[in-house]
Amino acid sequence: MITSMTGFGAAEGTIGASRVSVEIRAVNHRFFNPAIKLPGSMAQWEGDVREALRKRFSRGHVSLSARIARDAERGLVINEEKVASYVQQLYSLKNRFGLAGDVDIATVMRLPDVMGSADDDSAETADGSVDQLLAIVHDAANGLDLMRIAEGTRIAEFLKEHLRIVESALARVRERAPARLVEQHKRMKSSVAELAGTIAVDPQRLAQEIAILADRMDITEELNRFGAHITAFRAALDEKSGSAVGKRLGFLIQEMLREANTTGSKASDAAILTDVVLIKEELERLREQSENVE
């Protein structure tokens, strides 16, 4: 069962006295590339969260964010220490320079950092445990996995469908290959006879040259290797171990493309070249989709 690298998962839970929500988003990436954003009170647990994600996901750009849920009435808070400091400084300036007027609340409230958001928990101290956070992370990762598996199933069906197109084209090439050699054999004998005219041609030497040409044009090995790559590709798609196979699929597609290019360069036949072009187009479609497989 192959798994996509794209998905989303979310979960909520309690850490100490706080209600915490965790969201995980993942997109395709060649390697495991985590991005973790935790509240300041949980920053010391970032390494534990990173390691937990590493154990769950082998590839992909995985973004995790956690936030502490708060009551609506706690949306804004007044920093009383800042207020006291500002008032003291303002009265000090007034007395020192003999300024007129009084220090009022409106003036103080307009000064920097007097009003703050309750969501800014960088100064808070976590009263829960890392295990409580990891439990929420695992629940969110489970939701992400469900989406990735569903997407992986759709990708697998796409890959199998287009792999069948490649197999059909390859079968036509395999069927056409022997007839093409016979035709090339006849064409070469006819050309030599036409060029030689009345001059006698050594039949043994002609047979030798035809054999050399036939060996250069033979695509049996390429077709056999191509078939082996298709078998390995299909086996990877049907693998039940749950291991990451994306890199293996990419390698097999690269090898199939290599065989297709060699077949096309040796073919010298319009029918075969037509199917080789079709095969290369389908391999490109396979490559694009396999890049999203973990």
At 213 the pLDDT is 63
What pairing do the DSSP bridges indicate for beta strands 7-15 and 18-27? Answer: antiparallel
Cα–Cα distance between 8 and 134 in angstroms, integer? 17
Contact 77, 116 (CB under 8 A): yes
At 97 the pLDDT is 81
CATH assignment, 7-72+128-147: 3.30.230.70
| DSSP of 150-207 | HHHHHHHHHHHHHHHHHHHHHHHHHHHHHHHHHHHHHHHHHHHHHHHTTS---HHHHH
At 286 the pLDDT is 96
At 285 the pLDDT is 96
The pTM for the full model equals 0.69
Here the tokens at position 187 are: 């064409």
At 81 the pLDDT is 85
What pairing do the DSSP bridges indicate for beta strands 60-69 and 32-37? Answer: parallel
Strand, coil or helix: what is 77? strand
Please enumerate in sequence order all residues whose Cβ is within 8 A of that of 40, keeping only pairs 6 or more positions apart, or say none. Answer: 121, 122, 123, 124
Cα–Cα distance between 286 and 142 in angstroms, integer? 28
Kindly report the backbone phi and psi dihedral angles of residue 200, in degrees, each rounded to the nearest multiple of 5, phi listed first: -70, 140
Q: Which residues of the chain have pLDDT under 50?
A: 72-73, 120-125
At 196 the pLDDT is 57
Cα–Cα distance between 231 and 162 in angstroms, integer? 14
Here the tokens at position 222 are: 């390429």
At 207 the pLDDT is 64
Cα–Cα distance between 171 and 267 in angstroms, integer? 15
| Helical packing angle, 130-196 and 220-237, nearest 10° | 160
Please enumerate in sequence order all residues whose Cβ is within 8 A of that of 269, keeping only pairs 6 or more positions apart, or say none. Answer: 176, 180
At 86 the pLDDT is 85
Domain with CATH 3.30.230.70 in the chain: 7-72+128-147
